[in-house]
């Protein structure tokens, strides 16, 4: 009698290879299709900033993948979640480093990552996945250097003016 794992092993390996090849060779029409995110206004400390808003599952999953850094006139993308939780940001198919800021439901800054590097190896996502340590409801992804340029500190506060 053949062991189940002996039968499943080739299927598992084939699935992994097909998945990796699918990620590596995404068709250009999918890569170049940009979602039209709505524009909102936020305030961090005393600075008012226009940002793109990702508040649906599709928008949060697609977020900044396959986008060129200079395609947007807005300095960041605000991911808005339904409830506070721990949210990981996987920088797969992101083409430039990001500053990532997690804010809780009251708008308090709870976690930051400066200059988060995109994935350079599809097989090792541990170096390009970033996760907050305290529950948050908002994640702001901005170009690297955004935190320093805007004087954001551990006591900075987010206020959503319009979504």
CATH number of the domain at 102, please.
2.60.120.1140
- Number of structural domains in the chain: 1
**Cα 108 to Cα 123: distance, rounded to the nearest angstrom:** 34
Residue 28 has pLDDT above 90, yes or no: no
- As a whole number of angstroms, the distance between CA 60 and CA 55 comes to 7
- Could you report the per-residue pLDDT of 45-75, keeping only the tens digit for each? 999 999 989 888 877 877 777 666 554 556 8
Tell me, yes or no, if the pTM score tops 0.85: no
Whether residue 40 contacts residue 161, with contact meaning beta carbons closer than 8 Å, is answered with yes
**DSSP code of residue 154:** T
Buried/exposed 14-35: b ≥16 CB within 10 Å, e otherwise: eeeeeeeeeeeeeeeeeeeeee
Q: Is residue 90 part of a domain?
A: yes
> pLDDT grade, residue 11 (50/70/90)?
confident
> What is the pLDDT, as a whole number, of residue 35?
58
Percent of the chain scored above 90 by pLDDT? 42
- Name every residue whose Cβ is closer than 8 Å to that of residue 138 and which is 6 or more positions away in sequence: 78, 79, 80, 81, 102, 103, 107, 158, 160
Read off φ and ψ for residue 161, nearest 5 degrees: -90, -40
Structural domain boundaries enclosing 158: 36-162
Half-sphere exposure of 43 (CA within 13 A, CB side): 7
Residue 64 lies in a domain: yes
Could you tell me the CA-to-CA distances from 41 to 9, 23, 101, 162 in Å, in that order? 51, 33, 16, 5
For the chain, give the percent of residues with pLDDT over 70: 85
How far apart (Å, rounded) are the C-alpha atoms in residues 88 and 13? 26
In a domain, 131, yes or no: yes
More confidently predicted of 47 and 26:
47
Q: Is residue 56 part of a domain?
A: yes
If phi > 0 it is left, if psi is from -120 to 50 it is alpha, else beta; for residue 93 that is left
Query: Is there a domain that residue 111 lies in?
Result: yes
| CA–CA distances in Å: residue 160 to residues 58, 97, 157 | 21, 24, 10
Within a domain: 26: no
Q: 152 in a domain, yes or no?
A: yes
Query: Is position 25 within any domain?
Result: no
């Amino acid at each position: 009698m053949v062991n189940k794992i002996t039968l499943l092993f080739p299927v598992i390996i084939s699935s992994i290879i097909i998945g990796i090849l699918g990620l590596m060779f995404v068709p250009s029409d999918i890569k170049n299709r940009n979602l039209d995110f709505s524009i909102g206004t936020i305030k961090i400390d005393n600075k008012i900033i226009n940002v793109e808003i990702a508040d649906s599952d599709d928008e949060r999953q697609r977020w900044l993948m396959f986008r060129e850094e200079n395609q947007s006139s807005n300095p960041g993308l605000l991911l808005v979640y339904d409830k506070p939780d721990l949210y990981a940001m996987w920088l797969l198919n992101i083409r430039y480093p990001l500053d990532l800021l997690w804010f809780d439901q009251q708008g308090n800054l709870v976690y930051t990552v400066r200059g988060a590097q995109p994935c350079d190896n599809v097989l090792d996502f541990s170096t390009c996945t970033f996760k907050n340590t305290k529950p948050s409801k908002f994640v702001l992804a901005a170009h690297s250097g955004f935190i320093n340029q805007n004087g954001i500190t551990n006591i900075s506060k987010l206020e959503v003016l319009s979504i």
